[in-house]
Amino acid sequence: MKKKILVLTLIVALSLGVVSPFAFAAEELTVWVSNGDETNWMIKAAELYQEKTGVKVKIESVPEIDQAQRLALDGPSGKGADVVGWFHDKLGRAVIQGLIEPLDGYLPAGYAQENFLENSVEALTYNGKLYGLPYAFQSIAMIYNKDFYSEPPKTFDELITKAKKLTNARQDKYGFLFEANNFYYSGAIFNAYGAYPFGKNADGSYNFTNMTLANEGGIKAAKLIKSFRDEGLIPKGTTGDTINGLFSEGKVGAMFNGDWRIKDIKEAGVNYAVAPMPKLPNGEYPQTFLTVKGYYLSKFSKNKELAADFIKFVTNSKMSMDHFDTNGILVPHKDVVGSEALMNNPDISGFIIQARRGIPMPNAPEFMQVWSPANNAMTFILNGQMPAEVILPMTVDMIQEGIMQMR
């Protein structure tokens, strides 16, 4: 009888909000984060969370690239983490493997859309379900040498016209370079011409049979990129290392690259600035592939509500701004990217504007079948070995064949 009364008392207390539902779970969480600065920041965040809730959070350093595999091994035995985090392009595989839990049921309706950039939320959504909250995002933009360009070119026509005047291949000087045979970079132009690797269904899931890479827009995009080679702007054999080295030597006027290059550019003493990529001849802006890092809820967690609450805490407005202030992490929280501190930061604002224009790199595992055929196609096109009208349809066939084989 006493046991029944106690149970009823607890139920009433919970319904009235007198007692936190977390009080009946083992009040300890395990969180995996990458090494170094991220671990240090998360330890501080965990201490703040414990001060707020009384919940102890154990932080373990596990490289992002290893977390999914380790969770698959340790999760079923109860030794895994409650919260994990990695780039969104590995999200689909983790969902298929049953490693992570949708967050929708643990958040207020519309919470993610209200607080984060739309494309970052899309990146962490798979088959219509939200699986994480974002804590970082990256996009390439235009990094330019102010000794070459006093103002950033607003259009590709302006960029190319000026680049032709600046380029002197004999002196290894170039007005404009990017890794054109790498689809991560050239894909921004294809996307802007409506030539996407995959289509999408009405529910937001990817349609792997509706590939528009070889449509009229794709052929125009390929020909535009080929013209950069034909006009001597991007020579044969141009690699990422070549571009980075020449830019650091002050021999390149502008390049398309990411914020991960800024530290080296500063150390080289280049008089640089960052701007969004200029408008294309079709009137559209390049749509770069956006990559997003998210915190995810382990399917094996025994404290899912508590773990979801922790994810919400470390990605809220205040903590997201602190993440940027402490580690320089670009967080797609609307309060952060819209703040004066970031929009007035010359190293940051150009990347933010470009990221807003970007599209999430597809998070389905099938997208891994795109890179090799697309990169090879760009090499054939740039070298004049095969026209876009021929190689792009073949590329689509190779991608679809690769998808069939992986299944």
Query: Domain of 101: which CATH number?
Result: 3.40.190.10
In a domain, 6, yes or no: no
For 53-102, how does the pLDDT look when each residue is reduced to its tens digit (9 = 90+)?
999 999 999 999 999 999 999 999 999 999 999 999 999 999 999 999 99
DSSP string, 329-340: ----BHHHHTSH
pLDDT of residue 4: 43
Count structural domains, the chain: 2
**In this structure, are 183 and 268 located in the same domain?**
yes
User: Cα dihedral angle (282, 210, 291, 221), rounded to 10 degrees?
Assistant: -30
**In this structure, are 318 and 214 located in the same domain?**
no
**In this structure, are 209 and 316 located in the same domain?**
no
Nearest to 132 by CA among 299, 290, 311, 359: 311
Token pair of 110 as six digits = 């519309």
Domain final position from 342, 360, 378: 360
Asked whether the CA dihedral 179, 184, 190, 192 is positive or negative, the reply is: negative
Distance CA 74, CA 61 (A): 15
**In this structure, are 241 and 378 located in the same domain?**
yes
pLDDT of residue 67: 97
* Predicted model pTM: 0.91
Nearest to 358 by CA among 292, 289, 293, 294: 289
**In this structure, are 123 and 153 located in the same domain?**
no
In a domain, 1, yes or no: no
The letter for the amino acid at 402 is G
**In this structure, are 155 and 71 located in the same domain?**
no
**In this structure, are 260 and 402 located in the same domain?**
yes
In a domain, 80, yes or no: yes
pLDDT of residue 25: 45
Q: State which residues form the domain around 274.
A: 141-287+364-406
In a domain, 73, yes or no: yes
**In this structure, are 159 and 25 located in the same domain?**
no
pLDDT of residue 202: 84
In a domain, 392, yes or no: yes
- The total number of residues shown for the chain amounts to 407
In a domain, 10, yes or no: no
**In this structure, are 147 and 175 located in the same domain?**
yes
**In this structure, are 330 and 381 located in the same domain?**
no
In a domain, 86, yes or no: yes
**In this structure, are 149 and 197 located in the same domain?**
yes
For 255-313, how does the pLDDT look when each residue is reduced to its tens digit (9 = 90+)?
999 999 999 999 999 999 999 999 999 999 999 999 999 999 999 999 999 999 999 99
Identify whether the C-beta of residue 180 lies closer than 8 Å to the C-beta of residue 229. Answer: yes
**In this structure, are 174 and 263 located in the same domain?**
yes
Residue 247 has pLDDT above 70, yes or no: yes
In a domain, 12, yes or no: no
For 204-243, how does the pLDDT look when each residue is reduced to its tens digit (9 = 90+)?
788 988 899 999 999 999 999 999 999 999 999 999 999 9
